[in-house]
Structure formats: C-alpha cells, structure tokens
C-alpha cells in the first residue's frame, strides 16, 4: 500500500535529523509514496519543493504553550484535509503534539528517535513514541527500552541513509574553491556541525589548536560549516586566530545546504553522525569526533564501535585537543595521498554496504506496515508464565519455541514473558519480559492481556517444592479473577503427592479454559485429580519445533572450548538427583569404556547452569580416561547445534533427549522421572534404566547396539520426530481456537 505520510519535525535548518528527514522524504517520494512535511521551516524547504514535496509551516520548534496549541490545531486541519494515512514525527515536541492528536483522530502514528533525550523535570512523561518507533542505532534502541519501557517488538532499528550520488568522489568542488579562494594542492580540513553549545565542542577545539596545526601543516585551510547559537562567538575567536597567523586559516561559512560540494574539497574531514557518513560516502578520510565522544581516524578497526552508536561516539572517550591534534597531524603528515584515498574508498564501501538511503526508507516502510496493521487488525496480548530466566536450557528452549510459534501466527500477537531475569531475557532473546516476582508488574501485564499461557514444562508438581506449585496456581487464579482466558500450554503434570496440593490443583486447573499436555501420563494424572477431561488435549513439547545453530557455528563453539573433533563425539547430560552418588562411579566406568573401546570423545553438556557443571565434573573426576566439560553458558539454539554434531547421546535430562530427537541423533536415556521413560517409549529409544538400579552391562549393550545399528536408529528418530513436530504445532491451533471464542 502506498500510504500518504506526513513528516513532522521542529524545523528544516542544518542538522543531522533534519537532513535525515529530507533524504527519507525524497526516497519515499521516489518509491511512490505521497509525502507531506510540516515544520517551522528552514533552508531545506527549497530542496523539498524541488523534489515535489509540499511543506506546511507549523511552529513546532519551541516549548511554548501558545505555539504548541497553535501547532495542534494546524496539524489537525492538515491531517483531516489531506486525509493522511500515517504521521511520522521526528522530535519530542512534534511527537507530543501528534501523540495528542493520535488519541483523538486514530491515525497511524510512528516516531523516530535520532538521539537520546534528557528525561528529568517530568520531560520523560511528555514524550510520545507512537505505535512504532524507528531508532537510528542499537544504543538508542536500548535507551528506549531502559528509559521509556518501549517494547522491543515496537522498535525498528535503521540507519542514517546517505545519497551516494549526491555525496560522491565525483562531486565537483570548483565552485567552492572559487568562492573561498582555495588553490589546488592547499591542505584542506572541513568540519560540519551545528554551531550550538550542545554540538560545537570539536569546532571550539579545532579553533583552539589551529595555530599549532598551521605551524605543523604549512598552508592549512579549515572550513568550519554550520550556524547556531554560538556561531558569533566562534567566528570572533577564529578571526583572532587568523589575525595572529597573518592569513586566512579558519573560514566560518555559517549555515549551508551545499554540504556535498563543501565536503568535496576536503583532504581530511572532521565530524560526527550523519556528517561523518556523508564524508565517507564522498570518499574522504574521516576523523569521527563530536560532543558525546571521540572515535578518531575511521578505518576497519573502528567500524564495530562506530556502528554501535551510529557514528555519534556515545559511550566513547571524550574528545580532547591533544588527541584531535595528533590525529589531524597524522592524517596530513604521515598518511600519503594514496593512504587517504584508500581510507576514503573503504569508508565509501561501508556506506554502500550498510548506509544506503534505500535501506533507510525500507526500514521505515516496515515500521509503517506494522503500525498500520496494528491500527487495522485485532491485536492479541499474551502473557507467558513458566520457569523462565533461571539458566535452565530446557525451560529457555520451551520459552523460545512457544514465543517463535506464536509470533509466526501473525504480527498482531504480542507476548510478555514472566522471567526471573527480565533484562537478560530481553537482551539475550529480544523477548519482552517483566520480573516474575514483581507483583505490580505481573498483575499489570495480566490485566492488559487477552490470555495467560501457563507452560510448558512440569510446572504443576510438588516434588521440588510446594512453594513452586503455589506460585503457578496463584498466577492462574489471578488471571481468572481478572476474567482473562487461561490456557495450560503443553504442560507436564506431576508428580503431585500431597492430598491438599492435589485438591488445589483440581480447583484451580478446572477454572482454566483450555489445557494441552505434552504426554498421556500428564493427561491421566489430571484426570485422577478430577480435572474436567473435556478441556484436556494431548499434544507434544513445543521444543520439538525448535532448530539449532548450523554445523559451522557449533564446531566453532567446541573449538573455542578446546574440544577436539578428531574422534566422534558422545554428548553426556547429567543432573543432580537424590540418589545420584551411587550412580556416578558406575556411570563414569561406562564413559571410560566408550572412550577406550569405541574411540569416542566424551563431552558433558550442562542444561542447568552451574548445577550441571558441578555434577559433570564429579563424573569426569571418577573417569580414568580424558573427557571434556562444556563450561560456557550457551543458548538453547547453540546447545541443540552442538548436540547435532554428536554420534549419540547419554542423558538424564528430558530436553537433551528432545534436542537429540529433533536433530535425529540416537540416544540412551536414564530415568529419574516418569517423563523420561514416557518420551523414551514414545521415541522408541533405549531406556538405560532407573538411576537407583543402574546396570552398567545393560547400558553398555545398548550403546553397542546404537554404534552397530546407527542408521536404523536415525531412521526411526526421523519418523518419530516429524510426528512429534506436527503434534507440538497443535498447541498454537488450540490457542487460536481459544482466542477465536473470545472474539465472538
């Protein structure tokens, strides 16, 4: 759909955000969108007009109540008369005004975050980020989540797209040379920024060190480009420097729109953010420096750092005169013209690869589409409750699988997870999360939801503690008190031993609207407690739908851990349990035989950090042969990828077995819980027996059979895994059915 889009910003004078909006508007216009711009006006009005883009002058450039009120009514009239589809605001004041109009007029509303705002004195609460927000760097994305609690799914990260035809090594600088009497061969430094107090630190430093630079670099000329509230002060200082030198060294140009031509005459460019990127597009050697920090001479070694903060230097060391002097001198005196040309060519390559104006426009179009759908489609808000954020790979895999499968149902499904480590869950997986024990946040999330999903995993059991059981029952009860739909999602039930606990499970679970269970044993357990069977359906664990990292990535992890790949791998997954000590020595003997007799490398993989590492070390110490323990805290995707490299698996952990089955890697399971025996039977894989009665000879016979008949085991797992994959996807179908009932 080719939307009619209204861009709103404070003004159109020289500045990075202003240039961003102009370039974005022109590119979207080229792509067939109908673009309007509203601002207080400025030097870029003419460029918009030449591109066929209408501009409305609206005084959104000051926090003045009367001007803001006037802007409110002017914008309301424009939006209504022009029949605008989407309003895209690019600063705090336009965002605040358009946010108020959005509530009244219900248009689709998107904002852009070009920088970080001061949040004190209540200003935080005057900022409206719209339905979706486009952040121009990853650090701004993080800032939005940390300071404004914007959901990660509502943030689209883009770049400052640069017009590589306008900013090019082919740009003709003859007019600028004539205007400023610049002779060919004159060493030229160009700096571009607004000359405002908040932006002019490096301009001040350049003026301050100009006498030393002029002494070191004969004939040096500097063009300092931009206007602002400290321009007159800096102009006076530059004149003092010129007078002392007895020649024109510093030229203050004031505000200009012909930045591409000014940049074209430089041998060395100094600047930050968009200005630095434009100079890179022009093939110039660039020193990245600004008010927020200093990166220095740009090259391949600085790319990652610069990209993290969108070439704004946030988080870097502050600019200092001595560092700036050293780099400028190096650029002119130690870099040859060929060196500068090579540095410029790399910078232009970076622009083509990462900073095209087309990509910037497409990022915004993605945000527009998501916001438009949100305005025109039914939205569903889902809360997921489970054992998340405890460094348990199996439960994290459940969370990730559920999240992925629900997200694939459509972009109108919004998920919040109750996590023990919500910040880590957001940062590591990009999943919206709140603290599972934060009563106010949990109740707010449930109140704003359409459905609570309790699952998966064995949440309703009292073998570890009654307190855990009470937690999950209370979350379910709270949701039903708020009249929310509740679904137990692919649960494993039990064991629940206490009579009182069994009564409580029956009372609370019977209030759920829908129950899916990952195995028949759990179905029978609920029925034995008196839960209504009409609500219960057997599906499969959602992890049967998950995929691991590729082989190359998995091999890289093993190499980093110093684990050789010269022999076939056997992955071993053990956990602590009540009677584990009697098992360890005999299991260590089994591992020794596998290493010595069958020439395999044993790798212990932890599914619960750090507990499983501790028990793995105990087994390893009992072994006579060498073995390896994977010590890093890896994501479920990485663990599954490592398991895919194995010849076969020995495991006490359910989800290690499920990972292996998903990757069609033969396995032997050791039973400490009925759920292990159930899935071994379901997969038709060898049962190594109960841990309390471990039979080493029997386990060795099973291992020998897997080695001798591996192809048969793989074929069987391929068939069983596909069936369980299909059954696991039934969970989403039941969820859809439940949500459809809510819409009637």
The whole-angstrom separation of Cα 258 and Cα 180 is 14
Give domain status of residue 516, yes or no: yes
Question: Which of 109-123, 337-351, 504-518 comes out lowest in average pLDDT?
Answer: 109-123
Asked if 205 and 228 sit in the same domain, the reply is yes
Give domain status of residue 544, yes or no: no
Residue 120 binned pLDDT confidence (cut-offs 50, 70, 90): low
- Label the pairing between strands 293-297 and 285-290: antiparallel
Neighbours of 80 (CB within 10 A): 12
The whole-angstrom separation of Cα 682 and Cα 540 is 11
Which of 538, 567, 588 is the last residue in one of the domains? 538
Asked if 273 and 178 sit in the same domain, the reply is yes
Return the DSSP state at 608.
Answer: B
User: Among all chains, which residue has been given the structure tokens 């049962």?
Assistant: 687
Predicted pLDDT of residue 122: 61
Give domain status of residue 104, yes or no: yes
Closest to 539 in 3D by CA, of 739, 667, 723: 723
Q: Which residues pair with 177 in a beta bridge?
A: none
Give domain status of residue 743, yes or no: no
Q: What is the mean pLDDT of residues 611-616?
A: 94
Give the structural domain span for 266. Answer: 174-354
Provide the token pair at 455.
Answer: 């699952």
Question: Which of 33-42, 205-214, 453-462 comes out lowest in average pLDDT?
Answer: 453-462
Q: What is the mean pLDDT of residues 79-91?
A: 97
In whole numbers, what is the pLDDT of the chain averaged over residues?
94
Transcribe 533-567 into DSSP letters: GGGEEE---GGGG-----HHHHHHHHHHTT---SS
Predicted pLDDT of residue 744: 43
Predicted pLDDT of residue 616: 96
Give domain status of residue 133, yes or no: yes
The whole-angstrom separation of Cα 162 and Cα 260 is 11
Burial per residue of 105-118, b for 16 or more beta-carbon CB atoms within 10 angstroms, e otherwise: eebbbbbbbbbebe
Asked if 136 and 268 sit in the same domain, the reply is no
Q: Is 176 exposed, middle or buried (0-12, 13-18, 19+ CB in 10 A)?
A: buried
User: Among all chains, which residue has been given the structure tokens 């050293």?
Assistant: 326
pLDDT tens-digit map of 544-564: 999 999 999 999 999 999 999
Which of 482, 514, 538 is the last residue in one of the domains? 538
The whole-angstrom separation of Cα 18 and Cα 10 is 9
Asked if 282 and 219 sit in the same domain, the reply is yes
Residue 743 binned pLDDT confidence (cut-offs 50, 70, 90): very low
Q: Determine which helix (DSSP H) or strand (DSSP E) holds 87, and give its type and residue range.
A: strand 86-89
**pLDDT over threshold 80, residue 525:** yes
Give domain status of residue 247, yes or no: yes
Cβ contacts of 527 within 8 Å, gap of 6 or more: 533, 536
Q: What percent of the chain has pLDDT over 70?
A: 99
Predicted pLDDT of residue 362: 94
Does the CA dihedral 527-533-535-540 come out positive or negative?
Answer: positive
The whole-angstrom separation of Cα 625 and Cα 351 is 54
Q: Which residues pair with 661 in a beta bridge?
A: none
Q: What percent of the chain has pLDDT over 90?
A: 85
Asked if 22 and 91 sit in the same domain, the reply is yes
The whole-angstrom separation of Cα 398 and Cα 732 is 14
**pLDDT over threshold 70, residue 631:** yes
Asked if 205 and 302 sit in the same domain, the reply is yes
Contact between residue 640 and residue 659 where contact means Cβ atoms under 8 Å apart: yes
pLDDT tens-digit map of 694-708: 899 999 999 999 999
Residue 125 binned pLDDT confidence (cut-offs 50, 70, 90): low
**pLDDT over threshold 90, residue 579:** no
Closest to 651 in 3D by CA, of 696, 601, 606, 683: 606
Residue 123 binned pLDDT confidence (cut-offs 50, 70, 90): low
The whole-angstrom separation of Cα 466 and Cα 460 is 9
**pLDDT over threshold 60, residue 417:** yes
Chain CA centroid to CA 596, Å? 45
CATH number reported for the structural domain that contains residue 225 in this entry: 3.40.50.2000
pLDDT tens-digit map of 149-182: 899 899 999 988 898 999 999 999 999 999 999 9
**pLDDT over threshold 70, residue 227:** yes
User: Among all chains, which residue has been given the structure tokens 């701004």?
Assistant: 140
The whole-angstrom separation of Cα 510 and Cα 480 is 11
Provide the token pair at 33.
Answer: 């969108």
Contact between residue 35 and residue 57 where contact means Cβ atoms under 8 Å apart: no
Asked if 558 and 534 sit in the same domain, the reply is no
**pLDDT over threshold 60, residue 364:** yes
Asked if 595 and 722 sit in the same domain, the reply is yes
**pLDDT over threshold 70, residue 392:** yes
Give domain status of residue 368, yes or no: no
Q: Which residues pair with 404 in a beta bridge?
A: none
The whole-angstrom separation of Cα 569 and Cα 359 is 44
Residue 524 binned pLDDT confidence (cut-offs 50, 70, 90): very high
Q: What is the mean pLDDT of residues 277-286?
A: 97
Asked if 22 and 114 sit in the same domain, the reply is yes
Q: Sheet containing 188-192: give its strands across.
A: 250-254, 221-225, 188-192, 268-271, 285-290, 293-297
Residue 315 binned pLDDT confidence (cut-offs 50, 70, 90): confident
Residue 383 binned pLDDT confidence (cut-offs 50, 70, 90): very high
| pTM (2 d.p.) | 0.75
Asked if 384 and 525 sit in the same domain, the reply is yes
Q: What is the mean pLDDT of residues 377-396?
A: 95
**pLDDT over threshold 80, residue 126:** no
Q: What are phi and psi of 272, to 5 degrees?
A: -145, 160
Provide the token pair at 40.
Answer: 């207080």
The whole-angstrom separation of Cα 78 and Cα 71 is 10
Asked if 396 and 457 sit in the same domain, the reply is yes
Predicted pLDDT of residue 578: 78
- Residues in the chain, how many? 744
Contact between residue 74 and residue 45 where contact means Cβ atoms under 8 Å apart: no
Predicted pLDDT of residue 139: 85
Q: What is the mean pLDDT of residues 212-228?
A: 96
Number of separate domains in the chain: 4
- Label the pairing between strands 667-671 and 485-493: unpaired
The whole-angstrom separation of Cα 589 and Cα 612 is 19
Predicted pLDDT of residue 309: 85
Predicted pLDDT of residue 691: 81
Angstrom CA distances, 600 to 212, 569, 626, 641, 652, stand at 68, 6, 10, 19, 20
Give domain status of residue 58, yes or no: yes
Neighbours of 534 (CB within 10 A): 7
Question: Which of 390-399, 441-450, 614-623, 668-677 comes out lowest in average pLDDT?
Answer: 668-677
Contact between residue 88 and residue 75 where contact means Cβ atoms under 8 Å apart: no
Closest to 140 in 3D by CA, of 164, 162, 159, 124: 159
Asked if 505 and 598 sit in the same domain, the reply is no
CB hemisphere CA count around 353 (13 angstroms): 9
């Amino acid at each position: 759909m080719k939307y009619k889009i209204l861009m709103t910003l404070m003004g159109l004078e020289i500045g990075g955000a202003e240039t961003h909006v102009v370039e974005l508007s022109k590119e979207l216009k080229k792509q067939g969108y109908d673009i309007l711009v509203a601002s207080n006006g400025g030097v870029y009005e003419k460029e918009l007009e030449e591109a066929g883009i209408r501009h409305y002058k609206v005084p959104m450039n000051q926090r003045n109540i009367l001007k803001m009120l006037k802007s409110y009514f002017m914008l309301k009239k424009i939006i209504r008369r022009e029949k605008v589809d989407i309003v895209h605001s690019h600063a705090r004041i336009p965002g605040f005004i358009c946010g108020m109009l959005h509530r009244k007029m219900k248009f689709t509303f998107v904002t852009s975050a070009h920088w970080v705002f001061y949040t004190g004195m209540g200003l935080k609460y005057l900022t409206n980020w719209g339905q979706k927000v486009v952040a121009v760097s990853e650090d701004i994305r993080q800032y939005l989540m940390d300071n404004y609690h914007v959901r990660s799914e509502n943030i689209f990260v883009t770049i400052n797209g640069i017009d590589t035809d306008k900013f090019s090594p082919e740009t003709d600088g003859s007019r600028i040379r004539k205007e400023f009497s610049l002779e060919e061969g004159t060493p030229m430094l160009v700096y571009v920024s607004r000359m405002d107090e908040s932006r002019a630190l490096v301009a001040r430093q350049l003026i301050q060190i100009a006498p030393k630079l002029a002494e070191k670099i004969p004939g040096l000329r500097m063009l300092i480009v931009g206007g602002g509230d400290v321009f007159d002060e800096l102009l006076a200082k530059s004149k003092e420097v010129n007078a002392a030198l007895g020649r024109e060294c510093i030229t203050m140009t004031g505000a200009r729109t012909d930045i591409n031509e000014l940049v074209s005459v430089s041998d060395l460019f100094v600047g930050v953010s968009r200005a630095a990127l434009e100079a890179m597009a022009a093939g110039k050697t660039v020193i990245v420096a600004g008010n927020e920090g200093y990166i220095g001479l740009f090259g391949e070694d600085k790319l990652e750092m610069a990209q993290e903060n969108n070439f704004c230097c946030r988080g870097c060391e502050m600019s200092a005169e001595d560092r700036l002097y050293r780099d400028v001198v190096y650029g002119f005196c130690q870099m040859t013209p060929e060196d500068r040309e090579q540095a410029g060519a790399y910078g232009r390559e970076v622009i083509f690869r990462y900073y095209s104006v087309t990509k910037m426009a497409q990022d915004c179009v993605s945000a527009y589409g998501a916001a438009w759908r949100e305005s025109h489609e039914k939205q569903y808000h889902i809360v997921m409750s489970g054992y998340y954020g405890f460094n348990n790979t199996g439960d994290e895999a459940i969370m990730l699988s559920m999240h992925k499968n629900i997200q694939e149902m459509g972009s109108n499904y919004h998920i919040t997870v109750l996590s023990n480590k919500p910040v880590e869950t957001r940062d590591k997986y990009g999943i919206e999360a709140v603290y599972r024990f934060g009563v106010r946040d949990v109740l707010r999330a449930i109140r704003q939801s359409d459905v609570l999903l309790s699952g998966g995993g064995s949440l309703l059991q009292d073998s570890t503690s009654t307190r855990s059981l009470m937690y999950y029952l209370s979350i379910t009860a709270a949701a039903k008190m708020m009249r929310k739909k509740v679904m137990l999602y692919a649960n494993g039930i039990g064991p629940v031993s206490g009579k009182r606990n069994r009564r409580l499970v029956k009372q609370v679970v019977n209030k759920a609207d829908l129950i899916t269970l990952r195995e028949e044993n759990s179905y029978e357990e609920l029925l034995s407690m008196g839960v209504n069977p009409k609500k219960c359906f057997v599906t499969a664990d959602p992890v049967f739908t998950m995929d691991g990292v590729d082989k190359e990535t998995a091999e890289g992890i093993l190499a980093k851990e110093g684990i050789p790949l010269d022999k076939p791998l056997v992955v071993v997954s053990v956990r602590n349990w009540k009677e584990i000590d009697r098992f360890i020595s005999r299991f260590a003997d089994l591992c020794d035989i596998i290493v010595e007799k069958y020439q395999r490398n044993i790798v212990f993989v932890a599914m619960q950090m750090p507990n499983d590492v501790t028990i793995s070390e105990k087994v390893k110490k009992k072994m006579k042969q060498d073995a390896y323990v994977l010590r890093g805290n890896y994501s479920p995707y990485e663990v599954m990828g490592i398991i895919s490299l194995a010849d076969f698996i020995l495991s006490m952990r359910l989800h290690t077995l499920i990972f292996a089955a998903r990757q069609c890697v033969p396995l032997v399971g050791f039973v400490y819980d009925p759920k292990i025996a159930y899935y071994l039977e379901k997969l038709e894989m060898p049962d190594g027996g109960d841990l309390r009665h471990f039979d080493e000879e029997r386990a060795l016979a099973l291992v020998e059979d897997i080695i001798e008949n591996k192809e048969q085991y793989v074929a069987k797992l391929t068939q069983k895994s596909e069936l369980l994959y299909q059954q696991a996807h039934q969970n989403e179908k039941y969820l859809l059915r439940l949500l459809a009932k809510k819409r009637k």
